[in-house]
Protein backbone atom coordinates (compact mmCIF):
# COMPACT_ATOMS: atom_id res chain seq x y z
CA UNK A 1 0.00 0.00 0.00
CA UNK A 2 1.31 3.44 -0.86
CA UNK A 3 2.63 5.31 2.15
CA UNK A 4 5.42 7.68 3.16
CA UNK A 5 8.82 6.12 3.72
CA UNK A 6 12.04 7.74 4.87
CA UNK A 7 14.98 5.41 4.30
CA UNK A 8 18.62 6.08 5.15
CA UNK A 9 21.21 4.62 2.80
CA UNK A 10 24.44 4.61 4.77
CA UNK A 11 26.62 3.45 1.88
CA UNK A 12 30.12 2.48 3.15
CA UNK A 13 29.87 4.42 6.39
CA UNK A 14 29.87 3.47 10.08
CA UNK A 15 31.54 0.57 11.83
CA UNK A 16 29.88 -1.70 14.39
CA UNK A 17 30.25 0.63 17.38
CA UNK A 18 29.03 3.63 15.40
CA UNK A 19 26.03 1.65 14.22
CA UNK A 20 25.12 0.66 17.76
CA UNK A 21 25.38 4.28 18.87
CA UNK A 22 23.27 5.50 15.95
CA UNK A 23 20.43 3.04 16.51
CA UNK A 24 20.39 3.72 20.25
CA UNK A 25 20.15 7.46 19.58
CA UNK A 26 17.56 6.98 16.86
CA UNK A 27 15.30 4.95 19.15
CA UNK A 28 15.56 7.68 21.76
CA UNK A 29 14.82 10.48 19.32
CA UNK A 30 12.19 8.88 17.10
CA UNK A 31 9.25 11.23 16.58
CA UNK A 32 5.97 10.00 18.02
CA UNK A 33 2.80 9.65 16.04
CA UNK A 34 4.30 10.24 12.59
CA UNK A 35 2.80 8.05 9.92
CA UNK A 36 6.13 7.52 8.25
CA UNK A 37 7.86 4.19 7.78
CA UNK A 38 11.49 4.60 8.82
CA UNK A 39 14.21 2.34 7.45
CA UNK A 40 17.98 2.34 7.82
CA UNK A 41 20.32 0.53 5.44
CA UNK A 42 23.71 -0.04 7.14
CA UNK A 43 26.59 -2.00 5.57
CA UNK A 44 26.29 -5.81 5.67
CA UNK A 45 28.58 -6.21 8.70
CA UNK A 46 26.25 -4.08 10.83
CA UNK A 47 22.90 -5.51 9.81
CA UNK A 48 22.64 -7.94 12.71
CA UNK A 49 23.44 -5.24 15.27
CA UNK A 50 20.71 -3.11 13.70
CA UNK A 51 18.03 -5.80 13.48
CA UNK A 52 18.69 -7.04 17.02
CA UNK A 53 18.63 -3.57 18.55
CA UNK A 54 15.58 -2.48 16.56
CA UNK A 55 13.65 -5.73 16.97
CA UNK A 56 10.86 -4.34 19.15
CA UNK A 57 10.65 -0.96 17.46
CA UNK A 58 8.92 0.11 14.27
CA UNK A 59 12.21 1.09 12.61
CA UNK A 60 13.07 -1.22 9.73
CA UNK A 61 16.40 -2.41 8.38
CA UNK A 62 17.35 -2.87 4.73
CA UNK A 63 20.44 -4.17 2.96
CA UNK A 64 22.14 -2.02 0.32
CA UNK A 65 22.67 -4.82 -2.18
CA UNK A 66 22.38 -8.57 -2.66
CA UNK A 67 23.62 -11.23 -5.07
CA UNK A 68 21.20 -12.83 -7.50
CA UNK A 69 22.33 -16.44 -6.94
CA UNK A 70 21.00 -18.64 -4.16
CA UNK A 71 24.58 -19.34 -3.07
CA UNK A 72 27.81 -20.76 -4.41
CA UNK A 73 31.30 -19.75 -5.42
CA UNK A 74 30.85 -15.98 -5.49
CA UNK A 75 33.62 -14.64 -3.29
CA UNK A 76 32.61 -11.57 -1.37
CA UNK A 77 28.91 -11.74 -2.12
CA UNK A 78 25.81 -11.98 0.10
CA UNK A 79 22.64 -13.97 -0.68
CA UNK A 80 18.97 -13.34 0.04
CA UNK A 81 18.91 -16.24 2.48
CA UNK A 82 21.83 -14.74 4.43
CA UNK A 83 20.03 -11.42 4.70
CA UNK A 84 16.82 -13.05 5.86
CA UNK A 85 18.72 -15.09 8.43
CA UNK A 86 19.74 -11.86 10.19
CA UNK A 87 16.23 -10.45 10.09
CA UNK A 88 16.55 -8.31 6.96
CA UNK A 89 13.51 -8.42 4.69
CA UNK A 90 14.12 -5.37 2.53
CA UNK A 91 16.89 -4.74 0.02
CA UNK A 92 17.91 -1.70 -2.02
CA UNK A 93 18.67 -2.71 -5.60
CA UNK A 94 19.86 -0.73 -8.59
CA UNK A 95 21.47 2.15 -6.74
CA UNK A 96 23.35 4.32 -9.24
CA UNK A 97 26.64 3.61 -7.46
CA UNK A 98 26.07 -0.10 -8.05
CA UNK A 99 25.28 0.61 -11.69
CA UNK A 100 28.24 2.95 -12.16
CA UNK A 101 31.08 1.38 -10.15
CA UNK A 102 30.03 -2.26 -10.21
CA UNK A 103 28.60 -2.32 -13.72
CA UNK A 104 25.18 -3.58 -12.72
CA UNK A 105 22.93 -3.57 -15.77
CA UNK A 106 19.16 -3.48 -16.08
CA UNK A 107 19.21 -7.18 -17.04
CA UNK A 108 21.32 -8.18 -14.04
CA UNK A 109 19.07 -6.13 -11.79
CA UNK A 110 16.00 -7.93 -13.16
CA UNK A 111 17.64 -11.14 -11.90
CA UNK A 112 18.35 -9.67 -8.49
CA UNK A 113 14.77 -8.44 -8.20
CA UNK A 114 13.45 -11.91 -9.09
CA UNK A 115 15.65 -13.52 -6.45
CA UNK A 116 14.63 -11.05 -3.76
CA UNK A 117 10.93 -11.49 -4.51
CA UNK A 118 11.27 -15.28 -4.56
CA UNK A 119 12.50 -14.93 -0.99
CA UNK A 120 9.52 -12.73 -0.11
CA UNK A 121 11.73 -9.73 0.34
CA UNK A 122 10.70 -6.18 -0.39
CA UNK A 123 12.78 -4.30 -2.94
CA UNK A 124 13.57 -0.60 -2.94
CA UNK A 125 14.45 -0.23 -6.60
CA UNK A 126 16.44 2.83 -7.70
CA UNK A 127 16.16 4.51 -11.06
CA UNK A 128 17.55 7.79 -12.32
CA UNK A 129 19.22 9.53 -15.22
CA UNK A 130 22.68 11.01 -15.56
CA UNK A 131 23.29 14.70 -16.15
CA UNK A 132 23.88 14.21 -19.87
CA UNK A 133 20.59 12.37 -20.24
CA UNK A 134 18.80 15.33 -18.73
CA UNK A 135 20.70 17.83 -20.86
CA UNK A 136 19.71 15.81 -23.93
CA UNK A 137 16.12 15.61 -22.71
CA UNK A 138 16.41 11.82 -22.48
CA UNK A 139 15.70 11.59 -18.74
CA UNK A 140 12.18 10.19 -19.05
CA UNK A 141 13.33 7.71 -21.64
CA UNK A 142 16.27 6.44 -19.57
CA UNK A 143 14.09 5.90 -16.53
CA UNK A 144 11.44 4.21 -18.67
CA UNK A 145 13.95 1.60 -19.86
CA UNK A 146 15.27 1.05 -16.35
CA UNK A 147 11.71 0.22 -15.27
CA UNK A 148 10.88 -1.81 -18.36
CA UNK A 149 14.06 -3.90 -18.42
CA UNK A 150 14.24 -4.65 -14.70
CA UNK A 151 10.65 -4.59 -13.42
CA UNK A 152 7.98 -4.71 -16.10
CA UNK A 153 8.33 -8.48 -16.53
CA UNK A 154 6.91 -8.91 -13.02
CA UNK A 155 3.33 -10.01 -12.47
CA UNK A 156 0.99 -7.43 -11.00
CA UNK A 157 0.94 -9.18 -7.61
CA UNK A 158 4.71 -8.72 -7.21
CA UNK A 159 4.27 -4.96 -7.00
CA UNK A 160 3.09 -5.26 -3.39
CA UNK A 161 6.78 -5.76 -2.63
CA UNK A 162 8.23 -3.05 -4.85
CA UNK A 163 9.09 0.46 -3.66
CA UNK A 164 10.69 2.80 -6.18
CA UNK A 165 13.28 5.48 -5.57
CA UNK A 166 13.91 8.14 -8.19
CA UNK A 167 17.48 9.30 -7.75
CA UNK A 168 18.86 11.54 -10.47
CA UNK A 169 22.55 10.64 -10.59
CA UNK A 170 23.59 14.29 -10.90
CA UNK A 171 21.91 15.04 -7.56
CA UNK A 172 23.49 12.24 -5.51
CA UNK A 173 26.08 13.41 -3.03
CA UNK A 174 26.59 16.60 -5.03
CA UNK A 175 24.58 18.99 -2.90
CA UNK A 176 22.53 19.67 -6.00
CA UNK A 177 18.90 18.64 -5.59
CA UNK A 178 16.27 18.19 -8.24
CA UNK A 179 13.73 20.95 -7.86
CA UNK A 180 10.47 19.78 -6.33
CA UNK A 181 8.95 20.32 -9.79
CA UNK A 182 11.56 18.14 -11.50
CA UNK A 183 10.97 15.43 -8.92
CA UNK A 184 7.21 15.68 -9.31
CA UNK A 185 7.46 15.51 -13.11
CA UNK A 186 9.45 12.28 -12.97
CA UNK A 187 7.40 10.69 -10.19
CA UNK A 188 4.20 11.42 -12.06
CA UNK A 189 5.72 10.01 -15.26
CA UNK A 190 6.79 6.82 -13.44
CA UNK A 191 3.31 6.38 -11.99
CA UNK A 192 1.78 6.85 -15.44
CA UNK A 193 4.07 4.22 -16.93
CA UNK A 194 3.12 1.73 -14.21
CA UNK A 195 -0.55 2.46 -14.90
CA UNK A 196 -0.02 1.83 -18.63
CA UNK A 197 1.92 -1.40 -18.03
CA UNK A 198 -0.37 -2.70 -15.28
CA UNK A 199 -3.27 -0.56 -14.15
CA UNK A 200 -4.14 2.51 -12.15
CA UNK A 201 -4.49 0.58 -8.92
CA UNK A 202 -0.93 -0.75 -9.03
CA UNK A 203 0.33 2.74 -9.90
CA UNK A 204 -1.58 4.36 -7.04
CA UNK A 205 -0.42 1.73 -4.55
CA UNK A 206 3.29 2.06 -5.30
CA UNK A 207 5.40 4.27 -3.03
CA UNK A 208 7.90 6.35 -5.02
CA UNK A 209 10.69 7.94 -2.98
CA UNK A 210 12.94 10.77 -4.08
CA UNK A 211 16.68 10.62 -3.44
CA UNK A 212 19.56 12.96 -4.14
CA UNK A 213 20.89 15.53 -1.64
CA UNK A 214 17.75 15.50 0.50
CA UNK A 215 18.39 17.51 3.67
CA UNK A 216 16.28 18.71 6.58
CA UNK A 217 16.00 22.11 4.84
CA UNK A 218 14.66 20.89 1.50
CA UNK A 219 12.80 17.73 2.49
CA UNK A 220 9.50 19.35 3.41
CA UNK A 221 8.99 20.94 0.02
CA UNK A 222 10.05 17.85 -1.93
CA UNK A 223 7.89 15.52 0.17
CA UNK A 224 4.89 17.81 -0.25
CA UNK A 225 4.65 17.03 -3.98
CA UNK A 226 1.66 14.80 -4.73
CA UNK A 227 3.61 11.93 -6.30
CA UNK A 228 6.55 11.97 -3.89
CA UNK A 229 6.12 9.45 -1.06
CA UNK A 230 9.17 10.25 1.06
CA UNK A 231 12.86 9.88 0.43
CA UNK A 232 15.96 7.75 0.18
CA UNK A 233 18.57 9.72 2.07
CA UNK A 234 22.35 9.36 1.84
CA UNK A 235 24.60 11.91 3.56
CA UNK A 236 21.89 13.44 5.74
CA UNK A 237 20.94 10.00 7.10
CA UNK A 238 24.29 9.63 8.86
CA UNK A 239 23.48 12.09 11.65
CA UNK A 240 20.57 11.19 13.90
CA UNK A 241 19.50 14.82 14.27
CA UNK A 242 19.31 15.44 10.51
CA UNK A 243 17.63 12.10 9.86
CA UNK A 244 15.00 12.75 12.54
CA UNK A 245 14.34 16.22 11.14
CA UNK A 246 13.76 14.70 7.72
CA UNK A 247 11.44 12.07 9.22
CA UNK A 248 9.53 14.93 10.84
CA UNK A 249 8.98 16.43 7.40
CA UNK A 250 7.61 13.18 6.00
The strand pairing partners of 41, in sequence order, are: 9
Of 79 and 212, which has the nearer Cβ to ligand PGA?
Answer: 212
| Binding of ligand PGA by 47 (CB under 6 A) | no
| Helix, coil or strand: residue 79 | coil
Q: Which stretch binds ligand PGA (CB under 6 A): 82-90, 151-159, 166-174, 194-202?
A: 166-174
Residues in 79-108 that interact with ligand PGA by CB under 6 A: none
**What is the distance between the alpha carbons of residues 27 and 85, in angstroms, rounded to a whole number?**
23
Neighbour count for residue 105 (Cβ, 10 Å) = 12
Residues recorded for the chain: 250
Helices (H) and strands (E) in the chain, counts: 11, 8
Site string for ligand PGA, 112-151 (x = CB under 6 A): ----------------------------------------
**What is the distance between the alpha carbons of residues 46 and 63, in angstroms, rounded to a whole number?**
10
**What is the distance between the alpha carbons of residues 64 and 234, in angstroms, rounded to a whole number?**
11
- Residue 139 annotated among the catalytic residues of the structure: no
- Residue 95 annotated among the catalytic residues of the structure: yes
| Binding of ligand PGA by 173 (CB under 6 A) | yes
Nearest Cα neighbor of 232 from 5, 13, 50 is 5
Set 95, 104, 139, 187: catalytic member: 95
b or e along 166-176 (b: 16 or more beta carbons within 10 Å of the residue's beta carbon)? bbbbbbbeeee
The least distance separating ligand PGA from the CB of residue 238, rounded to whole angstroms, comes to 9
Using CB under 6 A, count the residues that bind ligand PGA. Answer: 13
Q: Which stretch binds ligand PGA (CB under 6 A): 32-40, 104-112, 114-122, 165-173?
A: 165-173
> What stretch of H or E contains 181?
helix 180-197
> Do 67 and 41 meet the contact criterion of CB atoms below 8 Å apart?
no
| Binding of ligand PGA by 211 (CB under 6 A) | yes
Of 211 and 230, which has the nearer Cβ to ligand PGA?
Answer: 211
Set 97, 104, 129, 167: catalytic member: 167
Of 64 and 115, which has the nearer Cβ to ligand PGA?
Answer: 64
Q: Point out the residues that are catalytic.
A: 95, 167
Interacting residues with ligand PGA (CB under 6 A): 9, 167, 172-173, 211-214, 232-236
Amino acid sequence: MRHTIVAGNWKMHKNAAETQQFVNDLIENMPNGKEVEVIIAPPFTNLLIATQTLEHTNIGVAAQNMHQAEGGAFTGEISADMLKSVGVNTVILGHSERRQYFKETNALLANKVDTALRHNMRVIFCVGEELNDRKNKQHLNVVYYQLKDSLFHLPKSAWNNIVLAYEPVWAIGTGETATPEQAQEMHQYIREQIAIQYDKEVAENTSILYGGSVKPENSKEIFSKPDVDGGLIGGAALKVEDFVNIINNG
